[in-house]
Amino acid sequence: MASKDIFSALAVPNFRWLWIGSLGSSFAMNMQIIARGWLVYSLTSSAMDLAWVTLSFMLPSVLFSLYGGVLADRLSKRKVIVCAQSLNCLATLIMAVIIFSEAVTFWDFIWFGFFNGTILALSMPSRHAFVPELIPEKLIFTAMALNTTGWNLSRIIGPALAGLLIAWLAGGDKTSSYGVGIVYLVIAFLYFMSAVTVLRVDRPGLASQQGKTGTFNEMREGLLYVGQHPKVFALIVLSIVPFLFGMPLNTLLPAFNQDVLGGHADSLGLLISAMGAGAIIGSILMAGMGELRRKGLWLLLSCGVWGVLTALFGLTQSSIAALFVIAFIGLLSSWNMSLNRGMLQMTVDDNMRGRIMSIDMMSHGLMPLGVFPISWVAEVYGVGSALMVSGCVFVLLTILSFICLRSVRGLTKTPASAWLD
């Protein structure tokens, strides 16, 4: 596919503004991952504490994503997104002040993570459901791949920039939090610019229905829809499995970097940037695969290889080998998630899209169910062993999904309601 085709969705002005706004918030989130992970592990030296901070961020996805889907189907999606980024900007400024005061504690990261996670849970369904309203159907896979490309571009530059800032401003002092405070100020600015940019979208993202049946009934309708449509259910299951046993790598990376590789904040940034570089390649490849046949089988295959690479990463002992393996993990994870989300967007009926995307996001909040046991293994047996266990379980669950989720092998872009006999 020619490069002009890969980036063709950016020729649509409204999608372009939404994409730029998403890029700003993605940079903010990925810079925060480095700053948060480095400071928390410096304060506590505990893999389990990293897991608790992850839980504080992910738990709101379980609690509030369904309501976020209702908001996406009821309200102006543009307003929801702008309000979310404005609140994130304010909270990040408060966190920066706490860090600069040198009074920051582990619990500050817990409340801040819960707040960030809540805002994300309430707004992300609007962001995902907004995309099909701004571009034609033929560009859906390209748009999904571009969204993933933007996210992964931020994973390359954001962590490296944050790590270098922290290391440079700390001047070799591992206990210094000054650099982390500067990074949080940069993050607040990025959230502000993201809100301003999304305001340039001239379509409000109108409600697909007006909420006449009540909030809880609408949530119930979304859950019933998933249960009644096997292919939608299969796609959500294949979204959950990587979050359970692929994502613990992201949580434990600060510990692996420090305990196994002997690295500092800048080397942690390079690891996450290498993952982002691989993911960029994966998302660009995905942009050219809208006509790929047997997408369900490819989705399963990418899950299996992702698991193998996770286990292999746990065996690495050198920074060079770790950079190489994690880049391939980034490629597979990006390709997998772009493919899954693209199929889900094209599969779901228009009037249910916001709620189904919220259920998909809610399922991601189950990540601590994998992170906690894997983090416990890391505490007892070491981070490398924990990642090997995580990768092996990932592969086993993928094989089980291949056996049990037969419906995923025949996916088409036909709306799910057409499959009900």
pLDDT tens profile 105-127 = 889 999 999 999 999 888 887 88
Q: What is the DSSP string of 177-241?
A: -HHHHHHHHHHHHHHHHHHHHHTT-S-----SS--TT-HHHHHHHHHHHHHH-HHHHHHHHHHHH
Confidence of residue 93 (pLDDT cuts 50, 70, 90): very high
Q: Which amino acid is at 338?
A: S
pLDDT band at 421 (very low <50, low <70, confident <90, very high): very low
Q: 280 near 158, Cβ under 8 Å?
A: no
Question: Whole-model pTM?
Answer: 0.70
The predicted-structure confidence for 39-72, as pLDDT tens digits, reads as follows 888 888 887 888 888 888 888 887 887 788 778 7
Higher-confidence position of 3 and 43: 43
> Measuring CA to CA, which residue among 258, 310, 252 is closest to residue 54?
252
Q: Can you give the pLDDT at residue 414?
A: 40
- Measure the CA–CA gap between 304 and 134, rounded to whole angstroms: 34
What is the reported pLDDT for 214?
59
Listed residue (5, 1, 6) closest to 283, CA to CA: 6
* Average pLDDT over all residues of the chain: 81
* pLDDT tens-place string over residues 209-233: 554 555 667 667 777 887 777 788 8
Note the pLDDT tens digit of each residue in 170-209.
665 555 677 888 889 999 999 999 999 999 888 766 665 5
Percent of the chain predicted with pLDDT > 90: 24
Q: Which of 364, 307, 295, 311 is nearest to 332 (CA)?
A: 307
Domain that holds residue 113: 3-419
Number of neighbours of residue 264 by Cβ within 10 angstroms? 17
Residue range 246-293, pLDDT digits in tens: 888 988 888 899 889 988 877 888 888 888 888 878 777 766 655 667
d(CA 64, CA 70): 10
Are 70 and 211 within 8 A, CB to CB? yes
DSSP structural state of residue 310: H
> What CATH number corresponds to the domain at position 221?
1.20.1250.20
Number of domains in the chain: 1
CA-to-CA separations, 1 to 6, 86, 144, 217, 346, in angstroms, rounded: 7, 38, 16, 44, 21
Backbone angles phi, psi at 194, to 5 degrees: -65, -45
Q: Which residue has the higher pLDDT, 93 or 288?
A: 93
Q: Which of 174-183, 309-318, 319-328 has the lowest mean pLDDT?
A: 174-183
Q: Around 107, how many Cα atoms within 13 Å sit in the side-chain half-sphere?
A: 1
- What is d(CA 361, CA 28) in angstroms, rounded to the nearest whole number? 19
Tokens 């560009």 locate to 139
pLDDT, tens digit, for every residue of 125-141? Answer: 788 778 878 887 777 77
